[in-house]
Amino acid sequence: MGRKLLTEHINVEGIDTFEVYRKHGGYRSVEKALKTMTPDEVVEEVKKSGLRGRGGAGFPTGLKWSFLAKPEGVPRHLVCNADESEPGTFKDRQLMSKLPHLLIEGMITSSYALGANTSYIYIRGELLYVLRILEKAISEAYANGFLGKNILGSGYDLDLHVHPGGGAYICGEETALLESLEGKRGNPRNKPPFPAVQGLYARPTVVNNVESIAAVVPIINDGGDEYAKLGVGKSTGTKLFSACGHLNKPGIYEIELGVPVEEFIYSDEYCGGIWKGRELKAVVAGGSSVPILPKELILKTAAGEDRLMTYESLSDGGFVTGTMLGSGGFIAMDETTCIVRNTWSFSRFYHHESCGQCSPCREGTGWMEKVLHRLEHGHGHMEDIDLLVSVAKQIEGNTICPLGEAAAWPVAAAVRHFRDEFEWHVTHAKEAARPGAVYPGKAVLA
Amino acid sequence: MAKITFDGIEIEIPDGTTIMNAARTVGGSIVPPAMCYYTPLKGSGGKCRACLVKVTAGSTKDPRPMPKLVPSCITSVQDGMVVENTVNQQVLDVRKGIVEMLLINHPLDCPVCDQAGECDLQNFAFEHGVSTTRYTEERRTFDKIDIGPLIQLHMTRCILCYRCVYTANQIAGDRVHGVLGRGDAAEIGTYIENIIDQDFSGNVIDVCPVGALTDKTWRFKQRVWFTKPVNAHRDCPKCSGNVLLWYKGKDVLRVTARKDEYGEVKEWICNECRFEKKETSDWTIEGPAHIDRSSVISANHYELPVLNHSVVADLPESTQRELEKNPPLKLGS
Amino acid sequence: MPLNLIDMEPTNAPAKPQFSAAAQDEIKRIITHYPEDRKKSALLPVLHIAQAEFGGWVSPEVQTLVAETLDLKPIEVYEVATFYTMFNLKPVGKHVLEICRTGPCMLRGSDELTAHLERLTGARVGGETSPDGLFTLKEVECLAACGFAPIVQVREKYYEQLDTPENVDAMLTELRNMVHRPILPWEALAQN
């Protein structure tokens, strides 16, 4: 069992209360930062740690922080992105509901580093029950002098609020999130200007994922260098993976980056293999938007090396034979899974979640869903398969925000690796449209 | 000032200008098309993606190319920027794709649409699209709605450019309509039946790039290319009173604001001028309005020829006599 | 089907709904979270309160009330309420069952769960309410609990691992026996 930096105490009775959390070393990072470090020194530690954004894009957190504009007399904000909605991803919900004080501690330390005096946690509206847990924990933090005016006598003030969304995946995109926090429709903004210059209320703003902010706590406690010792290469530290789909033990696993994918799937320490004694067919390794890979390519790279749970190893081979680590939403599919049906389901998701602002995404996501629906239900044509690839290409790269890519990649990758199965849905339309139909052939590897 | 290269043409332009407006200072076919951007409306642009261009060098300071195509309507120029529009195949291909996307759910009911002949989408599709469709699915439809006695909303034709929303916010005031729902089910509407009747609300008709918002007092009266636009003005207490009257014979069929060559309203007009002044006696006539040669409206040749004086001497005597009697109008008068 | 909001039936709710005193206090507290000139920021949290206060949905009248409460134009509220999927724009049954249908839940049997719930309640997904008025079935996209699939959300509660008839029955029994919806924090505060 590797080291756990975030979830070590997750199963401790009462860890959601201030008292128990504090007894297990909670809020040490706030004391250390506010009493012994300057804000810039905190930023420096996060830079040294090599922490990469845990929301999906993997952008170095310290670097993102250093971009924050600091004009005189303009308030700055830190906003935590707790709008976890990427299919396959459910780590932040677990972290927040079980360890609310860990996020709050991370928010205080990070807000101090950025010079923010009002910070927000934007949580998806469906998680109102987690909002209640967080609000209770926040009031405990206020009562114990860790929030409010002159925290720990340091002269630093911070107010922290939780803001619920209303049911929209798009609000996980940082500028849509800020629009939503301003009480508007969740339409992503055109960039530039970036939030670091003009974010919430047109003020300089940093938006970070829950897990990224939580990771600041061990980074400050133990030092950035210690954190960077964990992991492999540029994939430093630990990462939460949400394992779901056809696994014996779905759930949240905090692993040191670098564990082989094969070990993660099959070892009893982690997912415990594929359910019902079946064979693995394919994996979507980083949330529904990253390319799907057939079993052979998720376990080994095209060069035959073991595929590791790191940013670099998962993307080895680009989008031809590789994928992305993304948000860590690890969806495993067994041999009976219909790839066309699954792709249709993902496509329906993106169609449903498109904000409708820019034309390629608004029109293209619906088009792909309709074509996939026809294919899955026995009304497809051979030319539909190339049409899908073409429409995906017309969306990718041409939209205001990354939802375009998120919608296009899974379709393009499914056709790339499972074209035969798509064709089978045309040639054996009736058979394939039967509920529970299983394609008898193999995946295309490259 | 910033110096940029656009399709090989050097343009010097004040800092902060958008790529689109830089190209417009040159004019002609190199100007990227705009379906949602509208200069007079703050915040417009960036949505339709029709104007995407390739930036092959970001600036002198950072000459790297921009990784993705950028919307030229909202991207500011940088000194030393190199932009490719009509000379870049990727840009042209993507634009073809945008036409396709905008058309898949459009009803293509041009034969019965009042906007036909002056429709931005029609022009855009004609200039940049392909003549076939790959879309075989059912199209999205909405019911027609009257938003008040004067304006009809034909949502099925809407391309969600948001121009009318910005107009209501910035020009008409007291907005009662907006974008409801989301994704491809998003629609312009008032939610609960409501009428749009502010003094300047009629301008939403002029800014609409398609036939989604139309003038009910003009509906089905005439095809636009059978009518003749004439510049006219009146002393109006609410607006400038500078308008276009659209004549068929002696009848004024409709009144609109005057637009520039990019279809953008020059001066907003009030609803009284637009909907209530339909007699020639209400107006001081200035003369026929110039209509671009490429427009179907110019097909009637009602506008007197604008002559290049160097060639006048070569004209037959009879024509010269005629010209003395009816001197040609100056462009744009 | 596109939203046909314009033709929406007039509501039977009182013509002029009013927030309870407890809800008004909660709204006041929430407004303090944002800068004074940014009251609009409170729109989503206030819509959630409104939906809880007025029978699980937000009628045009309720949305107008929200607009008045936050000094907004009514259209600003309509635009937002129709964008976010959690706000029900039509009357609903006593319990709204939001069934996750996205990939990971589908892999673990959400289609079967949906069919099963349709049989048990007599309502169909897509916003239909059962004849007894108890259940409205609504399909939703990913609820971020994929490891516990398939999932149904009812108000603020997640019912997880509904892949066995026993778990489904337990959920429905719990809901059938529920006399009042669970009390919310600000309501508890007002009672003390």
Domains of chain C: 20-83 (1.10.10), 95-176 (3.40.30.10)
Residue B133 has pLDDT above 70, yes or no: yes
Contact A437, A417 (CB under 8 A): no
CB pairs < 8 Å spanning A and B: 87
Q: How confident is the model at residue C2 (pLDDT cuts 50, 70, 90)?
A: very low
Nearest to A128 among C48, C84, C145 (CB): C48
The mean-pLDDT minimum among A314-328, B140-154, C11-25, C69-83 falls in C11-25
- CATH architecture for the domain at B2-100: Roll (3.10)
b vs e for A230-240, b when ≥16 Cβ sit within 10 Å of the residue's Cβ? bbbeebbbbbb
Residues 6+ apart with CB under 8 A from B327: none
Nearest to B185 among C2, C8, C74 (CB): C2
Residue C9 has pLDDT above 50, yes or no: no
- Contact of A364 with chain B, judged by CB distance below 8 Å, is answered with yes
- DSSP 3-state of C98: strand
Indicate if A113 and A237 belong to the same structural domain: no
Q: Give the tens place of pLDDT for each residue, B303-332.
A: 555 555 555 556 677 767 766 776 655 444
Which chain A residue shows the shortest CA-CA distance from B92?
A: A394
Nearest to B180 among C1, C7, C78 (CB): C78
Q: Cβ separation of C145 and A93 shorter than 8 Å?
A: yes
- DSSP 3-state of A27: coil
Q: What pLDDT was estimated at residue B313?
A: 59
Within a domain: residue A424? yes
Q: Cβ separation of C6 and B192 shorter than 8 Å?
A: yes
Q: Cβ separation of B192 and C8 shorter than 8 Å?
A: yes
Q: What pLDDT was estimated at residue A2?
A: 73
Which chain C residue shows the shortest CA-CA distance from A410?
A: C103
Within a domain: residue A10? no
Indicate if A198 and A115 belong to the same structural domain: yes
Q: How far is C143 from chain A (nearest CA, A)?
A: 7
Out of A275, A304, A334, pick the residue that ends a domain: A334
Q: Give the tens place of pLDDT for each residue, C118-134.
A: 999 999 999 999 999 99
Q: What pLDDT was estimated at residue B303?
A: 55
Helix/strand number for chain C, H first, E second: 8, 5
List the Cα angle C100/C104/C108 in 5-degree steps: 85
Q: How confident is the model at residue C3 (pLDDT cuts 50, 70, 90)?
A: very low
Q: What pLDDT was estimated at residue B190?
A: 86
Indicate if A102 and A250 belong to the same structural domain: no
Q: How many whole angstroms separate alpha carbon A44 and alpha carbon A242?
A: 30
Which residues of chain A have a CB within 8 Å of the CB of C145? 90, 93
- Contact of A394 with chain B, judged by CB distance below 8 Å, is answered with yes
- Contact of C2 with chain A, judged by CB distance below 8 Å, is answered with no
Q: How confident is the model at residue C8 (pLDDT cuts 50, 70, 90)?
A: very low
Please state the rounded mean pLDDT for residues C134-145: 96
Nearest to C6 among B140, B175, B193 (CB): B193
Mutate to test the interface with C, among B152, B165, B182, B191 (most CBs of C within 10 A): B191
Q: What pLDDT was estimated at residue B146?
A: 86
Indicate if A308 and A169 belong to the same structural domain: no
Q: How far is C48 from chain A (nearest CA, A)?
A: 8
Q: Cβ separation of A180 and C106 shorter than 8 Å?
A: no
Contact A30, A152 (CB under 8 A): yes
- Contact of C31 with chain A, judged by CB distance below 8 Å, is answered with no
Within a domain: residue A442? no
Q: Give the tens place of pLDDT for each residue, B27-74.
A: 989 999 999 999 999 999 999 999 999 999 999 999 999 999 999 999
> Could you tell me the CA-to-CA distances from A188 to A169, A174, B312, C24 in Å, in that order?
11, 8, 57, 31
Q: Cβ separation of B101 and A363 shorter than 8 Å?
A: yes
Q: What pLDDT was estimated at residue C82?
A: 97
Q: What pLDDT was estimated at residue B97?
A: 96
Q: Cβ separation of A359 and B49 shorter than 8 Å?
A: yes
Nearest to C146 among A90, A124, A159 (CB): A90
b vs e for C148-183, b when ≥16 Cβ sit within 10 Å of the residue's Cβ? bbbbbbbbbebbbebbeeebbeebbeebeeeeeeee
Q: Give the tens place of pLDDT for each residue, A50-70.
A: 999 999 889 999 999 999 999
Q: Is the C-alpha dihedral spanning A401, A407, A409, A410 positive or negative?
A: positive
Q: Cβ separation of B69 and A358 shorter than 8 Å?
A: no
Contact A71, A80 (CB under 8 A): no
Kindly list the partner chains of chain C, i.e. chains with 3 or more CB atom pairs below 8 Å: A, B
Residue B23 has pLDDT above 50, yes or no: yes
Q: Cβ separation of B180 and C60 shorter than 8 Å?
A: no
Q: Which residues of C touch B (CB under 8 A)?
A: 1-8, 60, 63, 73-76, 78-79, 82-83
Kindly list the partner chains of chain A, i.e. chains with 3 or more CB atom pairs below 8 Å: B, C
Nearest to B181 among C2, C73, C76 (CB): C2
Q: How confident is the model at residue C7 (pLDDT cuts 50, 70, 90)?
A: very low
Q: What pLDDT was estimated at residue C6?
A: 35
Number of domains in chain A: 3
Q: What pLDDT was estimated at residue A16?
A: 97
Indicate if A304 and A400 belong to the same structural domain: no
Nearest to C102 among A135, A165, A349 (CB): A349
Nearest to B182 among C7, C76, C83 (CB): C83
Share the mean pLDDT of chain C: 91
Please state the rounded mean pLDDT for residues B154-180: 92
Q: How many CB atoms lie within 10 A of CB C107?
A: 25
Please state the rounded mean pLDDT for residues B228-233: 93
- Contact of A75 with chain B, judged by CB distance below 8 Å, is answered with no
Indicate if A134 and A183 belong to the same structural domain: yes
Residue A226 tokens read as 């210690």
Out of A285, A313, A334, pick the residue that ends a domain: A334
Closest CA to A443 of A321, A330, A323, A349: A321
- Contact of B159 with chain A, judged by CB distance below 8 Å, is answered with yes
Please state the rounded mean pLDDT for residues C142-150: 96
The pTM for the full model equals: 0.93
CATH code (residue A149)? 3.40.50.11540
Q: Which backbone phi and psi does B143 adopt, to 5 degrees? A: -80, 150
Contact B315, B303 (CB under 8 A): no
Out of A306, A334, A362, pick the residue that ends a domain: A334
CA dihedral B287, B293, B295, B297 (to 10 degrees): 40
Residue A145 tokens read as 């002098």
CATH code (residue A325)? 3.10.20.600
| DSSP-assigned letter for residue A148 | B
What is the domain extent for residue A152? 18-229
Kindly list the partner chains of chain B, i.e. chains with 3 or more CB atom pairs below 8 Å: A, C
Provide the residue-wise pLDDT of chain A in tens; the chain has 446 residues: 578 999 999 999 999 999 999 999 999 999 999 999 999 999 999 999 999 999 988 999 999 999 999 999 999 999 999 999 999 999 999 999 999 999 999 999 999 999 999 999 999 999 999 999 999 999 999 999 999 999 999 999 999 999 999 999 999 999 999 999 999 999 999 999 999 999 999 999 999 999 999 999 999 999 999 999 999 999 999 999 999 999 999 999 999 999 999 999 999 999 999 999 999 999 999 999 999 999 999 999 999 999 999 999 999 999 999 999 999 999 999 999 999 999 999 999 999 999 999 999 999 999 999 999 999 999 999 999 999 999 999 999 999 999 999 999 999 999 999 999 999 999 999 999 998 899 988 766 65
Q: Cβ separation of B183 and A168 shorter than 8 Å?
A: no
Within a domain: residue A7? no
CATH code (residue A389)? 1.20.1440.230
Indicate if A209 and A351 belong to the same structural domain: no
Q: How confident is the model at residue C15 (pLDDT cuts 50, 70, 90)?
A: low
Q: How far is A34 from chain B (nearest CA, A)?
A: 38
| CATH class in words for B105-130+139-288 | alpha beta
Residues 6+ apart with CB under 8 A from B146: B152, B153, B216
Share the mean pLDDT of chain B: 89
Within a domain: residue A8? no
Instruction: Tokens 């046909």: give the residue.
Output: C4
Residue ranges, comma separated, of all CATH 3.10.20.740 domains in chain B are 2-100
Which residues of chain A have a CB within 8 Å of the CB of C67? none
